[in-house]
Amino acid sequence: MVGDFFNMNLRVQKALINDINFRFFGVDLKKLYYSSGTLISNKLIELFGEKNTYSLVCGLGGNAADGLAVAIELAKRKIPVNVYIVGRVSYSPSTIFKDLFSELEELKPFYKNLHIKQECYAEDIQQTDITIECLVGTGLDGLKLNKRFHDCISRISHFKSKLIAIDIPAPSYNPDLVISLNYPKIDTAITVEIPETKDASYLCGPGEVKFLFNSKQKTHKTKNGKILYISSTERKDEFDGIFNAAKNYSCDLSIYNFNTSLKSLKGFDFVDDMDIERYYLESDAIIIGSIDENSLINKNLVKHLVNLDKGKKIVTMWHTVELLNSFKDMEMLRDGILILNRSTIDSALKDYGVSERSLSQVTQTNIFFGGFQNTLYSKDGDSKLNINPKLTKEDSAKILANICAVLLTKNDAWLTLRSSVFLFEVASKLALENKNSVEENLRDAINLCKEF
């Protein structure tokens, strides 16, 4: 039951992220609702025919707007339709919902089998052949319905008619069928795909960022997470990047560097050899920076640390392929984030006989493949696209890795990777304006996205 609840929450999160990103990328939401109305109506008629009477039980939000769009389509096909709105239309926060309701009202004089009633209570809802629930959808805040909605669900769940939910069912009942938009919101749902959302649904946007953990600048030590940065770099500026990223997400940063000459630098918390295991185990996220690939000591220490706790969340870059002996060894990075350059990895993929997508699933790692068109793959086979040729450059990829590392302290790896790719773009634009580094603009980039 806990697993089902967790999976449903992830699906709801995905739907809410998509809604935000659709607005950001300029998807015509009204056109989207018309499409959903047509596609859901087609599916209903395919399953239950045109001779049945359909009742739609609607709330006042986006899910209800889908219901009104369905009612408009069914009415135009001269199919008997009853629309019950649980609430007053003027109280709806959705302009599109109000527009669709007005359009439905205008149809009433022309279609005698169309009946509309608002401000409904449970006792107002009458049983028909097919009852369609579209009360709350993914916009429900929490899992508890208000009493009016709960009473309506209690009533319709005792009807002997077929009970259908649009997109995702409200809590407290089990419909006979769920028709979800674009992807299933529960395991048993059937899906209709809306063409207008296809391209935008592949892109990362501010929607992902809105679901990130809200770090606080002034809080108890380690409240926002701890990062361990492992490197053999001889360049101080490599530390500056992760330091600024950690500062802007209010994380605690510790550094273990194989190059002892840099450990005298001021302003950084360097870890000694005697303490490295403890710091590794206590850290929320690990980032592996530049490592001397020719040093057996470096490589063996990294492997030793990873094996101390294979559940650690790790961010690393394409040098890992050289650092580790085979893709099988990359399983040590499961549940982490791996940032690869497509031009340097293609031949290796061919040698091992795996595709980009299957590599993420075989190694159970979330992978970013940089190229002219960047592709992101989750360990579960989900994918996203991003057009930013800058991310093929090593310096930019390091910045992306730094952003990933700080976000990973408190967030899921797949959400972290998607958010980081979009935040890189936003922070890069801010950096051009104020001449600070990308990492120094991370907090402002997050705030801009959360305010969208």
Q: Which pLDDT score is estimated for 350?
A: 77
**7-16, 71-80, 434-443: the lowest-pLDDT one:** 7-16
405 exposure class (CB count in 10 Å sphere: 0-12, 13-18, 19+): buried
Span 221-229, average pLDDT: 82
Does 153 lie in the same domain as 7? yes
> What pLDDT digit, counting tens, does each position of 302-344 carry?
888 888 887 889 998 866 555 555 555 666 677 899 998 887 7
Of 169, 197, 225, which residue constitutes the final position of a domain?
A: 197
- 3-class DSSP assignment, residue 114: strand
Q: Which pLDDT score is estimated for 232?
A: 85
Measured CA to CA, the distance from residue 403 to residue 227 in angstroms comes to: 12
Residue 184 has pLDDT above 80, yes or no: yes
In a domain, 20, yes or no: yes
Span 92-100, average pLDDT: 90
Does 231 lie in the same domain as 167? no
In a domain, 28, yes or no: yes
Span 88-95, average pLDDT: 89
Domain that holds residue 230: 207-451
Measured CA to CA, the distance from residue 150 to residue 174 in angstroms comes to: 13
> What pLDDT digit, counting tens, does each position of 362-418 carry?
888 899 998 878 999 998 888 898 877 777 788 898 999 999 999 999 999 999 999
- Number of structural domains found in the chain: 2
Does 219 lie in the same domain as 143? no
Residue 145 has pLDDT above 80, yes or no: no
User: Across-strand partners of 383?
Assistant: 377
> What pLDDT digit, counting tens, does each position of 247-303 carry?
999 999 999 988 777 777 888 999 999 999 999 999 999 998 887 767 777 878 888
Share of the chain above pLDDT 90, in %: 54
Span 168-173, average pLDDT: 87
Q: Which pLDDT score is estimated for 159?
A: 95
Of 156, 172, 197, which residue constitutes the final position of a domain?
A: 197
In a domain, 202, yes or no: no
Does 151 lie in the same domain as 38? yes
**151-165, 195-209, 309-323: the lowest-pLDDT one:** 309-323
Q: What is the dihedral of CA 11, 338, 247, 268, to 10 degrees?
A: 150
Q: How far is CA 137 from CA 160, 271, 318, in A?
A: 23, 49, 41
Predicted TM-score (pTM) above 0.85? no
- Collect all residues with Cβ–Cβ distance below 8 Å to 187 and sequence separation of at least 6: 4, 7
Does 230 lie in the same domain as 112? no
**53: phi > 0 → left, psi -120 to 50 → alpha, else beta; which?**
beta
Does 193 lie in the same domain as 211? no
Q: Which pLDDT score is estimated for 340?
A: 87
Of 144, 162, 197, which residue constitutes the final position of a domain?
A: 197
Does 245 lie in the same domain as 165? no
Phi and psi, residue 305, nearest 5°:
-65, -45
Give the model's confidence band at 88: pLDDT under 50 very low, under 70 low, under 90 confident, else very high.
very high
Does 362 lie in the same domain as 412? yes
**Domain at 127, CATH number:** 3.40.50.10260
| 337: Cα separation from own chain's centroid | 15
Share of the chain above pLDDT 70, in %: 90
Span 72-94, average pLDDT: 94
